[in-house]
């Protein structure tokens, strides 16, 4: 494998840190730091990167104003993984290609032979070492690799679609979110590049600059041509052009992969990561023992949580720091965040309970899972729309931070914004 590898965890879409589809949870924490299977979403990326031989540095690139929480995460991650981790802030949302092009000098310093680009809002086994080996064995030494997986025909059109040469795995054709079926191989948002990629991005940048001069923008936004010329998308602007030129290859993974676009998909991602812990982090999985709650399936419990031994947890449950769970509580397919209090005999199913929220005795908080079709091995989680035909789409129930649910009420398929003290039950509503 390569002697010098730099790993870049990147997500330059403006929605990643702002998390508009992740509200109300993204009000309290940037979406990439939301805990999935007990640790921040980004930590799964960093753990995978830290296992790659000869890895030099991790750069996080995004259009987000860093705050104390992000700085604390970076400091803790550097100490835990013994590697340099830096956050580079874009001056504007520059797209997946524009972000790395803007910081290309930072990336190529130290002369890396190869580097990865990973989108932050994906859940994956991250077969990075396998991608390095694949790149060595396929195509030209300066080829680029996309991680791909298989989706069903209908869902494939929601992703970037890849047509490959089945013998060489070269990408012959690439289309981002086509209107008709193109291929069942989809782009996973995980790439392996070498510094030559910047020549191709630079050519798009130059063309954008020329187009700005020929067709100046006369709208209300500032007419800063360089600003908009640097907004470049890897998928539409680079991969589409590189396809069929012997430069771009696809490595298809059989391991798990999913997007984390909405809060509902975070519960599904948590299930995938908890299942992976059997091989990667068995110490994170709770076990049945005397004096502890009954565990069913895969469950993560933070050591600071205080849980009554008569509670029943699982499958697919993640319990955060300082959580209190009373006698006879039942939790299934849910994420319980820092400081939440689940009082005696309440029931939480298919829900996310926000920071410092309280669920009263004998209350029931329940949502509707939005999981992929279990009978279709290639099904992916659907990108939910919040409303369908004017009505709230049934999905998981989300309680924002510091929400109080009274005793003996039912909250079903609802989203409760932060700091709400409810006095009755709700069904299929957004409680503002």
Q: What is the DSSP string of 89-122?
A: E-SS--HHHHHHHHTHHHHHTT--SEEEEE-TTE
pLDDT of residue 374: 86
**Residue 71, class by beta-carbon neighbours within 10 Å (0-12 exposed, 13-18 middle, 19+ buried)?**
exposed
- The per-residue pLDDT for 48 is 95
Q: What is the pLDDT of residue 420?
A: 94
242/220 Cα distance (integer angstroms): 34
pLDDT score at 11 = 57
Q: Long-range contacts for 41-47 (Cβ within 8 Å, ≥24 apart)?
A: 41/120, 41/121, 41/123, 41/260, 41/266, 41/269, 42/9, 42/73, 42/120, 43/77, 44/123, 44/124, 44/126, 44/273, 45/9, 45/118, 45/120, 45/126, 46/9, 46/77, 46/81, 46/85, 47/81, 47/280
Q: Each residue of 381-412: pLDDT tens digit?
A: 876 666 666 667 778 999 999 999 999 999 99
174: which strand partners? 162
Strands (E), 238-353: 248-252, 257-259, 294-295, 299-301, 306-307, 312-313, 317-319, 324-325, 330-332, 334-336, 341-342, 347-349, 351-353
Using CB atoms within 10 A of its CB, is residue 226 exposed (0-12), middle (13-18) or buried (19+)? exposed
Q: In the CATH hierarchy, which fold is given to the domain comprising 283-427?
A: UDP N-Acetylglucosamine Acyltransferase; domain 1 (2.160.10)
Give the integer Cα–Cα distance in Å for 188 and 121.
10
What is the torsional sign of CA 186, 187, 190, 194? positive
**Sign of dihedral through CA atoms 201, 161, 151, 114?**
negative
Q: Tell me how far apart the alpha carbons of residues 89 and 92 are, in angstroms, rounded to a whole number.
A: 9
| Dmax (CA) of the chain | 74
* Residues of the chain falling short of pLDDT 70: 1-3, 9-23, 139-141, 215-228, 383-391
Distance CA 213, CA 374 (A): 52
Say how many C-beta atoms besides its own lie within 10 A of residue 118's C-beta.
Answer: 25
* CA distance linking residue 114 with residue 10, whole number of Å: 15
What pLDDT is stored for residue 142 in this prediction? 78
**pTM of the prediction?**
0.92
pLDDT 10s digits, 292-315: 999 999 999 999 999 999 999 999
* Cα distance between residue 11 and residue 121, in whole Å: 8
- Rounded to 5 degrees, φ, ψ at 169 are 70, 15
What is the distance between the alpha carbons of residues 101 and 103, in angstroms, rounded to a whole number?
A: 5
Per-residue model confidence (pLDDT) at position 139: 61
What is the domain partition of the chain in residue ranges? 4-259, 283-427
DSSP H helical segments within 259-301, as ranges? 263-280
The conformational region for residue 339 under phi > 0 = left, psi -120 to 50 = alpha, else beta, is left
Q: Which CATH architecture has domain 4-259?
A: Alpha-Beta Complex (3.90)
pLDDT at residue 124, as a whole number: 96
């Amino acid at each position: 494998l390569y002697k010098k590898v730099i790993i870049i965890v990147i997500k330059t879409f403006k929605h990643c840190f702002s998390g508009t589809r992740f509200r109300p949870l993204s009000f309290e924490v940037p979406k990439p730091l939301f805990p999935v299977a007990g640790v921040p979403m980004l930590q799964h990326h960093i753990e995978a990167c830290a296992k790659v031989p000869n890895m030099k540095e991790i750069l996080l690139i995004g259009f987000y104003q860093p705050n104390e929480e992000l700085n604390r995460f970076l400091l803790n991650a550097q100490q835990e993984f013994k590697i340099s981790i830096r956050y580079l802030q874009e001056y504007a949302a520059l797209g997946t290609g524009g972000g790395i092009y803007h910081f290309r000098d930072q990336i190529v310093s130290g002369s890396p032979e190869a580097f990865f680009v990973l989108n932050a809002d994906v859940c994956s086994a991250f077969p990075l070492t396998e991608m390095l080996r694949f790149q060595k064995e396929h195509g030209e030494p300066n080829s680029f690799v996309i991680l791909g997986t298989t989706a069903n025909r209908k869902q494939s059109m929601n992703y970037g679609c890849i047509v490959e040469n089945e013998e060489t795995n070269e990408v012959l054709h690439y289309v981002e979110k086509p209107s008709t079926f193109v291929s069942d191989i989809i782009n996973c948002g995980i790439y392996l590049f070498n510094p030559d990629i910047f020549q191709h991005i630079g050519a798009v940048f130059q063309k954008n600059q020329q187009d700005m001069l020929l067709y100046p923008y006369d709208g209300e936004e500032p007419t800063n041509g360089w600003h908009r010329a640097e907004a470049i998308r890897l998928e539409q602007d680079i991969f589409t052009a590189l396809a069929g030129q012997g430069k771009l290859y696809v490595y298809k993974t059989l391991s798990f992969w999913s997007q984390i676009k909405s809060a509902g998909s975070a519960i599904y991602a948590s299930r995938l990561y908890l299942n992976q812990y059997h091989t990667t982090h068995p110490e994170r999985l709770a076990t049945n023992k005397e004096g502890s709650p009954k565990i069913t399936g895969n469950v993560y419990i933070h050591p600071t949580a205080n849980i009554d031994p008569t509670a029943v947890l699982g499958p697919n449950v993640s319990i955060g720091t300082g959580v209190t769970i009373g006698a006879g509580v039942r939790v299934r397919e849910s994420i319980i965040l820092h400081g939440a209090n689940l009082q005696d005999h309440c029931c939480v199913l298919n829900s996310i309970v926000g920071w410092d929220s309280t669920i009263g005795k004998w209350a029931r908080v329940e949502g509707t899972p939005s999981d992929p079709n279990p009978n279709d091995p290639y099904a992916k989680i659907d990108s939910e729309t919040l409303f369908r035909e004017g009505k709230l789409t049934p999905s998981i129930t989300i309680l924002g931070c510091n929400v109080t649910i009274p005793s003996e009420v039912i909250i079903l398929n609802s989203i409760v914004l932060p700091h709400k003290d409810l006095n009755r039950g709700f069904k299929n509503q957004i409680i503002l």
